[in-house]
Amino acid sequence: MVQKIALEEHILTPGMIDYWRPTMTTVPPALTARLFERLNDFGDVRLEAMDKSGIARAVLSVAGPGVQAERDAAVATRKAREANDFLAGEIQKRPDRYAGFAHIAVQDPKAAADELERCMRDLKFCGAMINGHTHGLYLDHPSLSPFWERAEALGALIYLHPADPVTPLSVLDGYDALARPMWGWGVETGSHALRMVVGGLFDRFPKARLALGHLGETLPYLLWRFDSRAKFQGLSLNKPPSQYIRDNIWVTISGMLSAEPLKCSLDALGRDRVMFGADYPFEDMAEAGHFLDTVQIEESLRADVGYNNAAKLLGL
């Protein structure tokens, strides 16, 4: 069993519960209750599951949508800070097993930058997880330059987590099973990341660091086409789109436990760009651990994906 650092491991804090519950309206009540219990557990249940899966450290983050769903900027900023302080208190009880991603309210970009710095400097968090757009504000928007300037200076990893699109995709009308994790979230999140690439965010902030789950939301599979069509369209960027994806984006295996996309991501992005994640409790931690332990890759690569890449990137 290879040692692992898990990067997409969710929790709830007291002020985030009311944002989370509306996302569960189509989920059976018994499953919602079980998820809620596990999201609020920082003790034996989570730690036992980690032990059985070979997870030495879990980087904890607030389950979406969190304050991305809040319209009042001042309330969002306050609640994000409260969530971060609560999480830091739980991490302090088991600093050998837990680390944290900051919860960030981008409604106020300067306050978001300050909170990111506070969390990394004072709370010793590893970066931040942002749960998609904020009422249609995507992370490439020029108003967020103060946040990205600070994130770049801090060397912070910004993990972009899926969210519902602003407007439901009409092509999925009548097929609720496709709307969220099965397909729609990947379309939304991959598109969000591509906005950052083609919008020149990584030209403006060349050292910015972005992480995507699900082995990159299909982006590694499409690198050639991105470059081909960017040239055809005459996009004015300093580099081909594929090079930004290779230089500025890391991916985790969360929710994508299959050898073929893993090998595609490794081949497309490089062995240092792929990391482990279980997406607990929405995915089975034991299944994720077993997949990485048994997938047919060389042992040194297994150790890099499981532990070494995250340890180096996040300073763990």
The domain segmentation of the chain, as residue ranges, is 4-314
Q: What is the DSSP letter of 137?
A: B
What is the end-to-end Cα distance of the chain in Å, rounded?
A: 20
Q: Report how far residue 97's alpha carbon sits from residue 44's, in angstroms, rounded to the nearest whole number.
A: 12
- Which residue, 281, 158, 136, 284, is CA-closest to 213? 158
Residue 135 has a CB neighbour count (10 Å cut-off) of 10
Task: Kindly list the distances between the CA atom of residue 29 and the CA atoms of 19, 25, 35, 217, in Å, as whole numbers in the listed order.
Answer: 17, 8, 10, 29
- CB of 256 closer than 8 Å to CB of 222: no
Task: Kindly list the distances between the CA atom of residue 56 and the CA atoms of 51, 65, 70, 100, 311, in Å, as whole numbers in the listed order.
Answer: 7, 27, 34, 14, 11
Q: Can you give the pLDDT at residue 189?
A: 98
Q: Can you give the pLDDT at residue 99?
A: 98
Q: Can you give the pLDDT at residue 35?
A: 97
Q: Which fold has domain 4-314?
A: TIM Barrel (3.20.20)
- State the 10-residue block means of pLDDT for the chain, 316 residues long: 98 97 91 97 98 98 97 98 98 98 98 98 98 98 98 98 95 94 96 98 98 98 97 94 98 98 98 98 97 98 98 97
CA 233 to chain centre: 30
- Which residue, 292, 248, 281, is CA-closest to 152? 248
Q: Can you give the pLDDT at residue 295?
A: 98
Q: Among residues 108, 140, 164, 279, which one is catalytic?
A: 279
- Which residue, 122, 4, 129, 12, is CA-closest to 58? 4
HSE (CB half, 13 Å, CA atoms) of 242? 16
Cis amide bond preceding 65, omega within 30? yes
Q: Report how far residue 43's alpha carbon sits from residue 162's, in angstroms, rounded to the nearest whole number.
A: 26
Q: Can you give the pLDDT at residue 26?
A: 85
- CB of 147 closer than 8 Å to CB of 107: no
pTM, to two decimals: 0.97
Q: Can you give the pLDDT at residue 287?
A: 98
Q: Is 247 a catalytic residue?
A: no
Beta bridge partners of 100: 60
Q: Can you give the pLDDT at residue 25?
A: 87
Helix (H) or strand (E) holding 146: helix 145-154
